[in-house]
Each structure stands twice: as C-alpha cells, then as structure tokens.
Amino acid sequence: NQPPALVLNFSSCSLPARCSGSAAKSLLFRFLPFLRWLPRYPVKDWLLGDIVSGFSVGIMHLPQGLAYALLAGLPPVTGLYSSFYPVFLYFFFGTSRHNSVGPFAVISVMIGSLTDSLVPSENFLESVNGSNATVNEELRDAARVELVATITVLTGIFQVALGLLQFGFVVTYLSDPLVRGYTTAASVHVLVSQLKNVFGVSQGEHSGPLSLFVTIIDLCQKLPDTNVGTLVTSIIAMVAILIVKEFNHKFANKLPMPIPIELITIIVSTGISYGVNLNDKFGISVVGNIPSGLKPPVPPNVSYFGQVVGNAFAIAVVGYAICISLGKIFALKHGYKVDSNQELIALGLCNFLGGFFQCFAISCSMSRSLVQESTGGNSQVAGVIASLVILVTILKIGELFRDLPKAILAAIIIVNLKGMFKQFSDLSTLWKSNQVDLLVWVVTFIATLLLNLDIGLAASVAFGLLTVIFRTQLPHYSILGRISNTDVYRDVAEYEMAQEIPGVKIFRSSSTVYFANVELYAEALKKKVGEPPLKKQQKKLEKEKAKKKKPSSNDARSPSLPQNAEDGPGLAVIELSVGESSVPPEPTLHSLGLPQPNFYAIILDFSSVSFVDTVSIKILKNIFRDFREIEVDVFIASCPVSVLAQLERGNFFSSAITKHSFFPSVHDAVVHISRERHQASVST
C-alpha cells in the first residue's frame, strides 16, 4: 500500500554559473514544493480521501480556532483567520503531507501571556456615566490584534531566516524530554488560564514569573462568585465531548469519519444560548460579535519589535519543533521525507503572510493531524479543502456564533489537553529508562511552570545543555585489564575475566578530556594507579588496624580538588606495597628519594578522547612529568588522529615526550612495554 513517489529528482547544481537555468528551476522547485508533486497528483487514488479528510479537519478547525483565539486573548474571528490563511499557504510551501497546520494550544498560550502583560485590560478602563469603570473591549482587542499580528510577522521572519540559513538544527537542542516536559507545563498554563471561563468569574491578567500561582490563588479567592450556569454548561460540554471522543477512538475503524462532537457542541450550545438568552438571564458570557468577510492586509507595527523579539524567537522555535517532530513521525510511517529547512521556511511564510491578515502564530495540532491522517488524507490538498471550509465559515456562517458561550470554548480547550496530560506518564517511563532525561523533563516542567513559557524555555535549554557538560565532566574512570588470550582490555572492576598486567596500569576515562574535567582526570589517575588490588589492601588493612588509623576516603566527595599529599590513599598505599607486595616491585634505584611504586608503566587509553584544549595539554604534560619523577613511563594508546594533531599543535611534544610514547592500541603498548622490560632484564 506504498503511495507512489511524488517527488522528482531536481538537485541543484554545485556550480551555479555553469547551470544557472537549471539552478533557478531547482531553487523554485525547492521553495515551492507543490510544483513538484501537484503535476503528479494521483487524482483517482487520492482526491476522495483528501476531500473527506479536509472536511473533517475543517470542521475541527472551526471550534478550535474560536477556542484558541480565546486562549490567545484575542477576538474569536482571528482564530478563524488563523485557521484559513496559514492552512491555505502551507499547501504551496509545505513538505509534510499529513500535518494539519493552524492554531495550537501551546503557541496560543504563549501569545496569550504576552497580550496579558503588554496590553492588559487595565489600560483600557473607562468610566461610564461616572460610575464603575469598565474595560473598553473594542479598543483593547484592536490593540491586542495589532500586537499579535506583529509578533506573528516577527515569528515568521525568524523562521524563514533560520530556514534560509539552514539553521533547522537549532531544534536539536530541544530534545524529546525537553519538548514533552515543556508542552506538559504549557498545558497546565492553558488549563489554569481557562478556569476563569469554566467558573464564569472575571479575573485580571497576571504576568511575569510565578504568575501561574498568583492566578490560581486569585481564582480560589473568587470561587464564591462562581456563575453556576457557566459552570454547569462547561461541565456538561466537557463530559459530552469526552464521551464522544472516547467513542470515536474506540470505533475509529468502523466510523467513516469521527463524529464532529466539538462542532455539534458549539452549534447546539449556540442554539440554546440564543433561544434561552443565556447571556441576559444567567450572565453566561458569550463570544460576542464575529464580523463577516476578510479584512485588507495591515502592515505590522514595527515599534513593538524590540519588546517581543525574544518571545517571537521562542514561539518560532517551539512552533517549528512541534511541527517537525510530528511531520517526521508521519513521514516515517508513510515512507516519505520532510525537508526540515523547507518546513521551517513554509511555517515562516505562513506566519509572516498571516500576520498581515490578523492571524496569530500557528504551528501544527496533533489532534487535527491525526484526524487528517486517519480519515484518509494523503496530501496537502486536504489542507486546502479544510481552509476552504473555514473560508466559507468566515464569509457566511461565522457571525451566527455570536451567542456561543465562552464556557463551551473553554471546555473544548480543556478536553483537548487530555493528550498532553498523558505525557505525565513519561515520568515513570523515563524513571525506568534514563534518569538524566527524567531530570531534564522535570526541570523543564518546573521551570516552565515557575518562570512561564518564555524564560522557562530558555532556562530549560540551558539546563539541557548543562547536563551534557555534567556528563562529560563526571566521567567514569577505570583501570583496564587484559581478557586472557585476547587483545581485548576491559575494566577490571566490571569484568571478572579481565586481569591487570603486572607492573602496568592501564587507565581509561569514559569521556573526552578538556578544561572542566582534566584536573579530575589527573586526580583519578593518581588515585586509581596508586590503589593496590582490592584483596591485598583489605588484608593489609586488617593487619594495620591496630597500629594506625585507616587513611580515610573523605576526599572522595571533592573529586576535582587536589588532596593534601599526606591524605590521599595513593602515597600511603605505595609505601605499604614497597615493603611486602607479592607482585614483585621491580628493584630499581630510588634515585630521587621518592617511594618507588609497584608499577613501572602507565598506559592512558585515549580511545574516548575526541578533542583536547590548552588546559588539558598542560595537565597531561604534568602527568608525564610527575610519573617520570618516580620512574614510571607513561604511554598513550588508541589516540585518534585528530587529537594527535591537536596535541602536536599545542606543543605537547618535546624532548621528554615524543611520539614513541604513542601506540595504536592498548595491546601494542603492552607488547612494547614487556619487550623493553625483557631486554632490560636480559642486559643486566
């Protein structure tokens, strides 16, 4: 059931001068992917599916668009615009065949927090007849639309720029656990922002760090004012939508298309609201006037750019991260490729152009995309059909929804969060599979809850990168031994079969060696090679117990710091072993008056070293020098060529340290050492 390959092979030339015509054509095909696939569109096979799917998605767009506009703090009609323009434009630019672009809860709540803080309702208070001050909603909404349109244009500019610069990879910094922790926290923000509509209380907007908790406390204080009618309406709507969605899910393969319960709910509730006049009788607030028709384009207000540049960048990155991860899942399932950079450009153009037509920033919706796929959608044509459904709504039907209660929209938003909240199960999955990723998830979640969606994202990305630093900074150090009759060397603490070569210490770090961990490396080396085999140590300690106190290991807590020479087990143990070691400490001269250790060579296994810097080269030189002083030779094995080149440039080599200390493998070094040793003993 593999769909036919739609994409032609038009690769651009590497020498533009020679084949500029073809290059221009290729560029055109690259930026307008529909030129590639539309001429080959298999009308018979795909069109019906795309139409059915397009209608289903369009019908979802209507309630979701209205709801997410509410979430973004904007008049409902902007949600319809955002469900039309970008969806239509994506047809021309997009490369994912199943993504349903358009309003998305996380992005909408990011916008909502901005409208709350930059254009708060308090700025539009005016006293009517000298009595209570009320908010002039028209002026406020106009200001908010202007602000959000500007953010959307800026978001689009960022996305197009990142796409053209082939910087789609920035999204790799948003690792899977981070995105899931972030969207889960965003869902909590969404939930909290909608509770006021569920309870029908009026609440001021709060912004800045910890505003989530301020909002919750504020809400709790206002709970006595709950409008029972609103609460009942939203609970009924939530229960109905939940049940039908469950039904849809259960009988997915028996239904031709899912029951459009959200659409039914808003139609029925609008009808009831209009018939019973809920607004006047029970004070249930409704969405209000929805103007018909499209508006002429308005340029963005560039004076806002400075204020929103950071947020626009965050929205650009998060919106893209969600789209590309969703797009890749579908591409994998259906065996086609999405072009990461072209997706970024496509999203950017949708946002940029949409911003001129009062759209707010969009991304992809998981729930809609799944419907688009499951109802037989095969290509971007489904998106066009969906956008046409919305266009008809905007032109003719939209205004009918003026009596739709806001509580219904809040119910739709909250029910749609169900999938997001399922991500809490990541906690147990990650606990079992990878605790560092769990930590990233939890830190992202908490940071996003506490610091809100913009600073929280920045803090989370910084933390995610710091975990990499920590992991490379706290590597696992081991002494290797040979697995008998092989050339394989393994950690003696982990492999019982691995036997240390007598007199030779083979040391390995699991990570590369650079400024932040090289002192730790040197300390660990000195500590590890100084330790005699465990059993011997224990025996000795039992003997010594009565005589003197055991050298403590309290220094282990501060691993990166040099120990007082007298505290470390290293020297103490060496002294002991000089006396009565069973592995013969080769009897050489104690020329420098220093204690002679029970080994005469150290091999540093460099197979995990991927780069070195000036700090690590300095410390490595010290290691060579320090061990030479106690007549121990140091060798380096399995050093990658690139690291060797870095060592050479960093003046590592001298008359004291030459490339003769370097061996391609640990075994080569061991063979060399034992040969030298043999020759030395023969000649004496």
Touching a second copy, residues 430-489 (CB under 8 A): 430, 432-434, 436-437, 464-466, 468-469, 471-473, 475-476, 483, 486-488
Q: Residue 490 Cβ, how far from a second copy at the closest point, in Å?
A: 7
**In this complex, which beta carbon is closest to a second copy, that of residue 251 or of residue 424?**
424
CA distance 433 to 446: 21
Under rule CB under 8 A, residue 549 binds a second copy: yes
Tokens of residue 656, six digits: 């004291």
- Build a one-symbol-per-residue string for 616-645: x at contacts with a second copy by CB under 8 A, - elsewhere: -xx---x---------------x-xxx---
C-alpha gyration radius of the chain: 34
- Give the residues across from 213 on adjacent strands: none
Phi and psi (nearest 5°) for 285? Answer: -80, 140
Size of the site for a second copy (CB under 8 A): 97
Pairing of strands 133-135, 125-127: antiparallel
User: Please, which residue, 69 or 461, has the CB nearer to a second copy?
Assistant: 461
Of the ranges 221-229, 312-320, 407-415, 564-572, which one interacts with a second copy (CB under 8 A)?
A: 564-572
Closest to a second copy by CB, 483 or 583: 483
- Residue 538 binds to a second copy (criterion: CB under 8 A): no
Check: CB of residue 185 under 8 Å from CB of residue 426.
Answer: no
* Closest CB to a second copy among residues 432, 535: 432
Q: Please give the residues from 654 up to 673 whose contact with a second copy meets the rule CB under 8 A.
A: 664-665, 667-668
**Region near a second copy per CB under 8 A, out of 85-93, 247-255, 366-374, 555-563:** 555-563
Q: Enumerate residues 517-536 that contact a second copy by CB under 8 A.
A: 517, 519-520
C-alpha dihedral sign at 511, 513, 519, 523: positive
From 137, 562, 580, 671, residue interacting with a second copy (rule: CB under 8 A): 562
Cβ atoms of residues 361 and 351 within 8 Å = yes
**Given the structure tokens 């240390």, which residue do they identify?**
500
| Phi, psi for 480 (deg, rounded to 5) | -95, 150
Cβ 557 to a second copy shortest distance, Å: 6
Q: Which of residues 134-193 bind a second copy (CB under 8 A)?
A: 166, 168-169, 172-173, 175-177
- Smallest gap from residue 538 Cβ to a second copy (A): 15
Is 195 or 647 the residue whose CB approaches a second copy more closely? 647
Among 340, 365, 577, 598, binds a second copy (CB under 8 A): 340
For residue 684, state whether it binds a second copy (rule: CB under 8 A).
Answer: no
Tell me which amino acid residue 562 is: P
The residue among 392 and 645 lying less far from a second copy, judged by its C-beta, is 645
DSSP-assigned letters across all residues of 549-589: PPPP-GGGGSTTSPPPTTTSHHHHHHHHHHHH-SS------
Q: How far is the CB of 593 from a second copy (least distance, A)?
A: 9
> What is the distance between the alpha carbons of residues 678 and 684, in angstroms, rounded to a whole number?
10
- Whole-angstrom CA distances from 213 to 101, 459, 521 are 32, 19, 45
> Residue 232 or residue 436: which is nearer to a second copy going by CB?
436
Three-state secondary-structure class, residue 359:
coil
**Site stretch for a second copy (CB under 8 A), options 271-279, 300-308, 383-391, 552-560:** 552-560
- C-beta of 396 vs 675, nearer to a second copy: 675
Work out whether 608 is an interface residue with a second copy (CB under 8 A). Answer: yes
Residue of 661, 683, 102, 6 whose CA lies nearest to 389: 102
Q: How far is the CB of 563 from a second copy (least distance, A)?
A: 7
Return the DSSP state at 621.
Answer: H
For residue 265, the minimal CB distance to a second copy (Å) is: 37
Residue 412: how many CA atoms within 13 Å on its side-chain side? 29
Q: How far is the CB of 89 from a second copy (least distance, A)?
A: 21
Q: Which residues pair with 363 in a beta bridge?
A: 102
From candidates 53, 372, 563, 596, binder to a second copy by CB under 8 A: 563
Considering only residues 372 through 431, tell me which ones interact with a second copy, judged by CB under 8 A: 430
Number of residues that make up the chain: 684
Q: How far is the CB of 516 from a second copy (least distance, A)?
A: 5
What string marks each residue from 488 to 517 as x (binds a second copy by CB under 8 A) or -? x-xx--xx--------------xxx-xxxx
User: Using CB under 8 A, which residues numbered 71 to 110 contact a second copy?
Assistant: none
**For residues 110 and 74, is the Cβ–Cβ distance under 8 A?**
no
The answer to whether residues 265 and 273 touch, using CB atoms and an 8 Å cutoff, is no
**The one among 20, 289, 558, 588 contacting a second copy by CB under 8 A:** 558
Rounded distance, CA 413 to CA 418, Å?
9
Among 293, 611, 656, 678, binds a second copy (CB under 8 A): 611
Burial category of 299 from C-beta neighbours within 10 Å (exposed 0-12, middle 13-18, buried 19 and up):
exposed
Our finding on whether 125 is near a second copy (CB under 8 A) is no
Taking residue 432's Cβ as centre, other Cβ atoms within 10 Å add up to 8
Q: Measured between alpha carbons, how far is 119 from 125 in angstroms, rounded to an integer?
A: 12
Q: Is 309 or 468 the residue whose CB approaches a second copy more closely?
A: 468
| Segment 25 to 44, residues that bind a second copy, using CB under 8 A | none
Amino acid sitting at position 265: T
